[in-house]
Chains A and B, each alone.
Chain A
Amino acid sequence: MNASIHCLLLLGLLVAAPAHAADATDAALLQRGQYLATAGDCVACHTAPGGKPYAGGLTVPTPVGNIISTNITPSTNAGIGNYTEQQFRDALRRGIRADGARLYPAMPYTSYAQVTDDDVHALYTYFMHGVAPVDSKPAPTRLPFPFNLRLSMAAWNLLFLDGKPFTPDPAKGAAWNRGAYLVRGLAHCSTCHTPRNLLMAEQSSRELAGGAVGTWRAPNITSDVNSGIGGWSEQDLVDYLKLGHARGKAQAAGPMAEAVDHSLQYLEPADLQAIATYLKTVPAQHDPADTRAVGSWGAAFNGMADQRGTALPDDTAQWTGAQLYDAHCASCHQASGEGSFDGGLPPLFHNTATGRADTGNLVMVILEGIRWTNDSGVHMPGFAHALSDHQVASLANYLTLRYGNPVARITATQVASLRAGGAPSHLAALVRLAMVVVVVLILAILVLWRRRKRRRTSSGQA
């Protein structure tokens, strides 16, 4: 690291937090910064597949177009090496780049706004001293009009950014407050789990009631017993966050598997416990469609006996759900769907994957499987290449009927849509339409106003 950066760094530290100047490179501080960066899962978005950590370049599909993550290594020409701590803090908590331009809220600064000054300082120290600089710049993000106008985000922030850092609730215990701080702040759970309004802002009144992440659904994780995690013990929640599965309840797939893989599994037990403590108190958001706990449906069932002695149809498109289950699933999940004795291969009943009325995630996990990157682990192989849309639907309907929510249905059309990346977003068109409406309205008001003025003028003359 060159001298000028040190000067900048020191300057930033002196301005921001002089008490910490002496231990700027202190190992403990660096370690805490690294831990917080892990808790914030910065690496998930700021690293391209197979790329260097934090060098950016990952394409994040959003309803308004693809956003390409930036290089946040301390490189001075490609990354954030020239950032002062104040600039770093503004980016993290207010969504403002060093050059003054606004970030898109794909960067969860509405959550990171909760992060305390002390933690920002540790993060800054880590990113400046603990991360290897990478001097390559990813391609810039190019969104369609009007989202290419970054200034529009200033208005968005005015409406939707609550800039106040976390303030503990003295009525609650230390664990609850720690959990609330992590859930609302660095762990940015609401980014996926809170539904968004038409302008893609989180609906704070429906905290953690469930949201969409591309083709995946981030489920309701409020304290509602049926729709959320109200029926889970704190230990279930800790297990889930640590291991990626809670026995007899659910397992992380899709983006949640990534979150566990990159971030949550590395959190200290006390922090995981704190998150669980807090989540259990999040106000319940009930979905009337959930007539019982989504993780409580079904029972062991052996559909194989009906198959035995019957020749398999020559055309695999004609195979029944049970026959497809026998060929593709039963070798791991077992003939009765009971999984392995230790729960490592999960049972398919008492499993949120088959218990939800919304079957999107069931289809997604059959198509994509569950893969972790850190241990090269294929926790479940995907079957996108092996099964047609029709076959996925037949199989998934067998699963919900026999092991899950029997009224849940899957259609081949739904599978085709999810396989293709989900229904296209009309947000850009909507916003453009809204802008036209606003312009027309303004013109109309102007016309009316001028007419009235003219009328008033003429009447005055009268």
Chain B
Amino acid sequence: MSGQLSADIVVIGSGIIGSLAARRLAQQGASVLILEAGPRLERARVVAAFRNSPIKGNWMAPYPPSPWAPHPIYVPQDNGYLKQAGPYPYPAEYIRAVGGTTWHWAAQAWRLVPNDVRIKSLYGVGVDWPLSYEELDPWYQEAEEILGVAGADNTGSPRQHPFPMEPVAEPWSMRRFRERLAPAYPVVANTVARNSRGYDGRPACVGNNSCQPICPVNAQYLGINAVEAAEAAGAKVVPNAVVFRIEHDAKGRIAAVHYYAPDKSEHRVTGATFILAANGIESPKLLLLSASDKYPNGLANSSGMVGRHLMDHPSTSLTFYADEELWLGRGPQSPSSINTLRDGAFRSQHAPYRLDFTNISQVLNVTGDLIKEGVYGAEFEKQLRWRAARQVNVKNVLEVLPNPDNRITLSAEKDAMGIPKPEAHYAIDDYTRRAAEVSKADFARIAELMGGTGLRYSAEGQFANNQHITGTMSMGNDPASSVVDAFGRTHDHENLFVCSTGVMPTAATMNSTLTGVALALRTAEHILPAKNAHAATAHSSHEASLA
């Protein structure tokens, strides 16, 4: 690409969040340019590659990194892109491609619970958000209607208007959990961006059980759907545009961004307003990379908080055999969960959590186990049948408190384009570890109610990462302790906004995508108000801007 590009709005990152912000702004008549570091993928190729591959359990397999925009790969071995400074690893997975990481996700589209945004005031831990749940509600609704969210009402997240869709049909396994765990634990349908009926031209889920790595029928809303919607609204996408520097003028306004094409030719893109939407790791990396004489610590970083407060949702789990055939693998991968532990007075002592049941087919896991155990022949088939029918898993999804020492920095090591790699500094504190300990009693009780045998707890002190990259560019009212304001505008640069789960000041217990999208829509409204924006929204924006 040659010649100088320019637009009213320049969005860096084409994931679900950046693309939906772009779509909304394009709908208001702005010229919008989306710069994406990775290549454009074809859905059919991803589906065919997955179906044609013997590697079914590695969800990154259909998304190999491009040489110019690498992303972390851990299987079969770590490609060394995301450096680990420790003490605890933060092995985030994400996809640098048009459409971003939601090419593969479980489509969990949860709202927070109202108290999640006030944990400092209520429980004396973490920080309060600069906005209330009530202010978020209409944005959640708008996001849910775009994504096509199906869900149950009794999950602890109140709402003013109904879900766009009824919950997706309950798989047999989840029904048995619900029946056998009642009344001790209410098991409810997850809130998901997955169609329970035809919605917005996309079909209903038919239960392929391959939500990750790819929904093969487009029943699940993906970032690429958001990209196509943004394009339909008039936005232009430039793939393979690796932004490596954000340029400011003498007054501190952003003047342009610079990107490398795969041949390392340099390009400059000017605009009036810039939105950084390159996820919670690549975005702070880019702000830090853009350090200048005027901003020696990087852009938007007068607080020193860029990259800090890195969070995720660590999980521990219990695997066991139920005393009846449940045959996980029919329907979506993650259909149901227990939501009663997402909030409570205990939050002053330990992290809240959600208890989530997998519905991923166990055939592959069990086959691997049996081969390792040396089982073969007729016994293999018998064991495979027995175990695959009964093996189940429950995990917790734990909150992590924001800690400035958990952070993304620039590594001394560089990628193929000569750009420093990101480096993660991470630890899991006692607040979270205590909750993991408490949840063991839940695991045990659940196993007991399911007639469980062969109980296998995840290794002591080992936490699985859930790829919910949060923090790193936290929002807040105080420019000394936060990176962006309540509308996602950087405190330091009037025309630079951040749309990302990275702006979430706390992680709560819920998958972060829907909150990220809701906040981004709210940011888009703040940049360029929609002519027909919902009344409640206009009201709250007005109040907030007066405050």
Contact = CB atoms under 8 A, between A and B. Distances in A.
A378 B43 CA distance: 18
Interface stretch (B201-209, B421-429, B499-507): B201-209
Contact of A316 (B42, B51, B197, B217): B42
Interface string A402-415: 00000000000000
Given A308-B52, A312-B49, A331 B44 contact: no
Contacts of A326: 47-48, 51-52
What bracket does the count of chain A residues touching chain B fall in?
20 to 34
Contact of B197 (A304, A375, A381): A375
A379 interface: yes
A447 to B, nearest CB: 63
A117 B546 CA distance: 69
B51 A332 contact: no
Nearest to A345: B206
B52 A376 contact: no
B216 A312 contact: no
Interface string A296-322: 000000001001101010001001000
24 contacts: A304-B51, A308-B52, A312-B48, A316-B42, A316-B44, A316-B45, A324-B44, A327-B47, A327-B48, A327-B51, A330-B51, A331-B51, A331-B206, A331-B217, A332-B217, A345-B206, A376-B198, A377-B197, A377-B204, A378-B198, A378-B199, A378-B204, A379-B203, A381-B203
Contacts of A379: 198, 203
Can you list the 9 inter-chain pairs with the closest CB atoms, starting with the nearest?
A378-B198, A331-B216, A327-B48, A327-B44, A377-B198, A378-B203, A376-B198, A327-B47, A331-B217
A307 B52 contact: yes
A378 B196 CA distance: 11
Nearest to A376: B198
A328 interface: yes
A323 B51 CA distance: 10
Interface string A186-197: 000000000000
A178 interface: no
Given A326-B47, A376-B199, A381-B202, 12 more contacts: A304-B51, A312-B45, A324-B44, A326-B48, A331-B206, A331-B216, A371-B198, A377-B198, A378-B198, A378-B201, A379-B198, A379-B203
Nearest to B207: A340
* Residue from the set A310, A326, A372, A379 with the largest chain B CB neighbour count within 10 Å: A326
A46 B270 CA distance: 50
Contacts of A316: 42, 44-45
Contacts of B199: 376, 378
Interface residues of B, number: 22
A276 B48 CA distance: 42
B44 A386 contact: yes
B155 to A, nearest CB: 24
A284 B204 CA distance: 39
A335 to B, nearest CB: 9
A115 B47 CA distance: 53
A312 B206 contact: no
Contacts of B6: none
Nearest to A371: B198
B115 interface: no
Nearest to B199: A376
A347 to B, nearest CB: 14
